[in-house]
Chains A and B, each alone.
Chain A
Amino acid sequence: MAERIAIVGVGQTHHKSKRLDVTTAEMCAEAVERCLEDAQMTMKDIDNIVMGSFEVADGYYSPDKWIIPELGAVGKSGLEMQNVGTTGGVVAATGFNIAATGLFDAVLCLAWQKMDEAAGAFGRGGGGTNEYWTGQFPMSPITNFARRAYAYMDRSGCTEEHFAMVRVKQDQCAMKNEYAQLRLGLTLEKVMNDALLAWPIRRLHMCPTTAGAAACIVCPEGKAKKVTNKPVWVEDWYTCHQGGSLTMAEDPTSSTLAYASNLVYKRNGITNPPKDIQAWEVYEPASPAELRWIEEVGICEDYTAWKLFEQNKVGIDKEIPFNPSGGVTATNPIGATPVVRLVEAALQVRGDAGEHQIPGTINRAMATGYGGQGENVIMLLRKTL
């Protein structure tokens, strides 16, 4: 029988485009220190560590050899994982799995990416997933989302201006988040006139390259109640492998997000997602993707999310509080990004998100991780059990 589990502490670095003042290990230690402080714990209390980054974009292999000593955690039990953009998601999900066994008191989940050290790794690696099948194309997140955005416009009837509305909303949220990397004060005009990367994707539509780390501590119920009076309960989680083809999805606008969230909704009795979930931190690597993701998590009908932006219904203090932290177009330390989503969702549930806190009580929040061309990790949080 699995234990019920809760997040008892969270921490993240102030995300930047460059961090010359720290090594990868030192940067990780910064996030872990903040996390331990938040949980009012020390490294002595941690008995399992799950950690990971997208190694190709770091340039180190076996990074735990360098990071674990920096954390003062030599000899502790743990795992290192990686799965492109979903790395942080599989780190958290694995941490949840381990905590739910009840075999450990406190599991530290840590993910990081220091993209100032190998930002070109993505481009040079082509699609990166398989050279024979994708190597002839200069595939990257930019080209992946250009194709999705093109198909979305084709099917929904929305225009480039709607993508710009999404980007401005994301920036308005990021402006209120002191940890966000890009806080730009954007206008529709500025986004519409920004450099075109691959039509209809402009530079501002894409997530930046980020140096940053994020961490959380997960405990089984008994321990969680002793440690904190503000546990954030992990209601459910699901990591979804991608089906179909390496080179293209069956539906070019779609990912596994709809499949995975429906599965999680069903087993937790969620019948009306926009009502049953009060805070969303969904991994959207490009602003046009946010439209499709809003539909895939069940907030509105397929190909209608752009109307919500036209009606000014999406924002921190609006009807649909989607990505109040500013999301991934403001901050993207790739491997760490799903843990950033989880940290932000947990802060929303606790009511500790500060300036970007959603008004009212957050009983349930959903965080996701996205990676490759469609894998998703769903993480569902609750204020009370």
Chain B
Amino acid sequence: MTTEQKQDPEFIQFRYPREVTYHHALGYQSKFANGLKQGRILATKCPVDGRCTIPPRIVCPMHHVRQTEWVDQGQRGRLISAFKINFPMFNSRTGELQTWENPIIAVELEGGARMDGWCMETDPSKLKTGMLLEAVWRPEEERQGRADDIMYWKPIEE
């Protein structure tokens, strides 16, 4: 059916490539970005239940109270979940299709906050929920304050 439609000269389709550049302000979360440049992972802490959250927020999403305290989350955490992409997918920063060797993981940091990252171990069968991981940073001069200033999370023997 699809092929027939494509060959049918009665119906015509036009292609419109578009390129748009956005400039998004980081606001209160800028403190998190500046922390990354210094090799620190900072999260906001809820004064009601003490829970630390990344992305940081001015107010706690559950208790809706102001969060003024920032807590350094340390350099280590435990694996919550992981998956590996087995097919080429678009890099949203470059718009190019590329392959992805490293699993994407969720980590619960020593300070209690959770964040996503890349795992240095490329074999997903070697990843176990709860395993200890340590942040591997880009050299300081290359850091931009983005979450991927942490290049990988590296499994640590206990």
Contacts and interface: CB of A to CB of B under 8 A. Distances in A.
Partners in one complex: yes
Interface of A: 16-18, 20-21, 59, 120, 123-127, 130-138, 140, 142-143, 146-147, 150-151, 154, 195-199, 243-248, 252
B62 A151 contact: no
A16 B1 contact: yes
Contacts of B24: 130-132
B91 A198 contact: no
A245 B89 CA distance: 24
B50 interface: no
A143 B104 contact: yes
Given A18-B5, A199-B124, A135 B93 contact: yes
Contacts of B18: 59
Given A21-B5, A146-B83, A245-B54, 18 more contacts: A18-B5, A20-B8, A20-B13, A125-B92, A127-B92, A133-B55, A133-B147, A134-B116, A135-B93, A138-B85, A143-B85, A146-B85, A147-B82, A147-B83, A150-B81, A198-B83, A245-B55, A248-B116
Nearest to B98: A138
Contacts of A134: 116
Interface string B78-94: 00111111110111110
Contacts of A133: 55, 147
Q: Interface majority SS on A: helix, strand, loop or mixed?
A: loop
B89 A123 contact: yes
Nearest to A247: B116
23 contacts: A17-B2, A18-B5, A21-B10, A126-B92, A132-B146, A135-B93, A137-B116, A138-B85, A138-B100, A143-B85, A143-B89, A147-B82, A147-B104, A151-B129, A195-B87, A197-B87, A199-B84, A243-B61, A245-B54, A245-B55, A248-B81, A248-B116, A252-B80
B10 to A, nearest CB: 8
Interface in B42-60: 53-55
B115 interface: yes
B92 A132 contact: no
Contacts of B104: 137, 143, 147
Nearest to B62: A243
Q: Would you list the 9 A-B pairs with minimal beta carbon distance, nearest first?
A: A126-B92, A138-B89, A123-B90, A146-B83, A136-B148, A20-B11, A252-B81, A198-B85, A196-B86
B28 interface: no
Q: Interface majority SS on B: helix, strand, loop or mixed?
A: loop
Contact of A135 (B5, B62, B92, B115): B92
B26 A120 contact: no
B106 A252 contact: yes
A24 to B, nearest CB: 12
Given A131-B24, A140-B89, A147 B129 contact: no
Contact of A124 (B29, B86, B92): B92
Nearest to A120: B90
Contacts of A120: 90
A131 B83 contact: no
A133 B115 CA distance: 9
A13 to B, nearest CB: 14
Nearest to A16: B1
B92 A198 contact: no
A147 B83 CA distance: 6
A14 to B, nearest CB: 11
Interface in B1-35: 1-2, 5-6, 8, 10-13, 16, 18, 22, 24, 26, 29
B37 interface: no
Nearest to B114: A248
A189 to B, nearest CB: 20
Contacts of B147: 132-133, 136
A125 B13 CA distance: 23
